[in-house]
């Protein structure tokens, strides 16, 4: 059994997999990670290896504490991966994006795949049918857009995410909601359309914290999977353990 640890910008997701089956999943604060790892390894006696993906600030002492509990793989640019990385700066490619690409290979091998991760940022990652990773894009996520309007202007309020009833905002709040929501929806649909113009057989995957919300609003046909990054990390661990 595998323990997956995904350290994000805001929270940490931990998941237990039995081969490819998700057994358990918890979301915790950064400060609670070590304690939760200890709890999960005691609860699931068959868990004997783990992988950690960290885009947040997990302290070195916490990584050392986790490695004492379980055989730990730390995902980085040197990790053996099941795809050819053609990114010009491979060492700067985020481990979260690496995991997403691996998830696409596990589920959609030998296909042209665009992976869209809608979280703090919206990342776009493309891997072709030859299992070559070409790159993608990074854009502000929903919350960043709301916060930017508040932080970088004198009078605009900070609002909670909300889908407006229509495109025309009839108040300042409605105008902000319209600008943020229709802006990000049209961006995502537009990016998908640009890729489809070049790759007519494109498979599109939407994941991340805002995936469920956005999938209901997008015009494009997509596969929505909130656990896609976790599945990718599990696949990387299996890929390296089988050698």
Q: Does 95 count as an annotated binding residue? A: yes
Q: Does 13 count as an annotated binding residue? A: yes
Q: Does 11 count as an annotated binding residue? A: yes
Listed residue (93, 97, 132) closest to 112, CA to CA: 132
Q: Does 153 count as an annotated binding residue? A: no
Report which DSSP code applies to 80: -
Compute the C-alpha angle 141/207/56, nearest 5°. 60
Q: Does 104 count as an annotated binding residue? A: no
What does the chain come to in residues? 243
Q: Does 146 count as an annotated binding residue? A: no
Q: Does 199 count as an annotated binding residue? A: no
Q: In whole angstroms, what is the distance from residue 233 CA to residue 71 CA?
A: 15
Q: Does 221 count as an annotated binding residue? A: no
Residue whose tokens read 């042209």: 112
The 10 Å Cβ neighbour count of residue 13 is: 19
Catalytic residues: 96
Q: Does 87 count as an annotated binding residue? A: yes
Residue whose tokens read 């700067």: 92
Q: Does 175 count as an annotated binding residue? A: no
What is the distance between the terminal CA atoms of the chain, rounded to a whole angstrom?
17
What's the farthest any 2 CA atoms get from each other in the chain?
61
Annotated binding site for substrate: 87, 94-97, 172
Annotated binding site for ATP: 6-13, 120
Annotated binding site: 6-13, 87, 94-97, 117, 120, 172
Annotated binding site for K(+): 117
């Amino acid at each position: 059994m595998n323990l997956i640890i995904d350290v994000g910008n805001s929270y940490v997701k931990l998941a237990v997999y039995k081969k490819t089956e998700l057994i358990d999943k918890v979301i915790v604060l950064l400060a609670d990670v070590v304690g939760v790892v200890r709890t999960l390894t005691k609860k699931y006696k068959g868990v004997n290896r783990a992988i950690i993906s960290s885009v947040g600030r997990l302290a070195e002492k916490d990584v050392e504490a986790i490695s004492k509990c379980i055989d730990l793989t730390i995902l980085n640019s040197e990790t053996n991966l099941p795809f050819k990385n053609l990114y010009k700066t491979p060492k700067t490619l985020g481990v979260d994006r690496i995991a997403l690409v691996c998830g696409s290979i596990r589920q959609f091998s030998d296909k042209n795949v665009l992976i869209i991760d809608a979280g703090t940022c919206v990342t776009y990652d493309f891997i072709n049918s030859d299992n070559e990773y070409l790159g993608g894009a990074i854009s502000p996520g929903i919350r960043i857009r709301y916060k930017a309007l508040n932080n970088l202007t004198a009078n605009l309020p900070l609002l909670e995410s909300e889908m407006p009833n229509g495109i025309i905002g009839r108040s300042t709040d409605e105008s902000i909601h319209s600008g943020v929501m229709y802006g990000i929806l049209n961006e995502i649909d537009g990016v998908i359309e640009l890729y489809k113009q070049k790759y007519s057989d494109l498979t599109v995957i939407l994941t991340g914290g805002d995936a469920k919300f956005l999938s209901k609003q997008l015009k494009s046909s997509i596969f929505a999977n909130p656990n896609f990054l976790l599945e990718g990390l599990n696949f990387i661990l299996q890929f390296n353990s089988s050698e």
